């Protein structure tokens, strides 16, 4: 696992942390270990929003850690699919990353 944070999503209204973790696990084909989701090229952490004072309406945070050889296009596809899944579940999502303007 790389320890370099690639992207963070702030999430609200898509269920609790366990529900969001399960939704992302199933969507992205990840193995779950508590709040951590993994596969060979990606590690995701679903947790409480550490910036709740700044982003109070978003109680959950999803951190994305891609391996260095993952293309920008695949990063956008994976993060974008998670954002669409949150919205499909009736939630709101805000992205913070270098490619946030390219996300749905």
- Gyration radius of the chain over CA positions: 12
pLDDT at 59: 93
Residue 46 lies in a domain: yes
- Cα 43 to Cα 32: distance, rounded to the nearest angstrom: 10
Assess if residue 104 is contained within a domain: no
Say yes or no to pLDDT of 3 above 90: no
- The Cβ-side half-sphere exposure at 100, using a 13 Å CA radius, reads 12
Over the stretch 43-91, which tens digit does the pLDDT of each residue have? 999 999 988 776 668 999 999 999 999 999 999 999 999 999 999 999 9
pLDDT tens per residue across span 78-90: 999 999 999 999 9
Query: Hey, is 33 helix, strand or coil?
Result: strand
Inside any domain, residue 47: yes
The answer to whether residue 2 sits within a structural domain is: no
Number of domains in the chain: 1
As a whole number, mean pLDDT of residues 11-23 equals 95
- State the pLDDT at residue 52: 75
Spell out where 2-91 has E strands: 7-12, 31-33, 36-39, 42-48, 60-66
Asked if the structure places residue 100 within a domain, the reply is: no
Instruction: Band the pLDDT of 1: cuts 50, 70, 90.
Output: low
> Is residue 8 within 8 Å of 64, Cβ to Cβ?
yes
CATH code of residue 57: 3.30.310
Q: Which domain holds residue 63?
A: 7-95
Is 74 domain-assigned?
yes
* Domain annotation covers residue 101: no
Residue 54 is predicted with a pLDDT of 67
């Amino acid at each position: 696992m790389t320890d370099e944070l690639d992207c963070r999503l702030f999430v609200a209204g898509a269920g609790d942390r366990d529900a969001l973790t399960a939704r992302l696990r199933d969507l992205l084909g990840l193995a779950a270990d508590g709040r951590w989701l993994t596969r060979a090229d990606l590690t995701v952490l679903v947790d409480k929003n550490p910036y709740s004072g700044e982003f109070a309406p978003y109680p959950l945070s999803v951190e994305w850690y891609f391996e260095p050889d993952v293309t920008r296009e695949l990063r956008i596809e994976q993060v974008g699919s998670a954002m669409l899944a949150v919205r499909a579940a009736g939630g709101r999502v805000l992205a913070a990353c270098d490619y946030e303007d390219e996300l749905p």
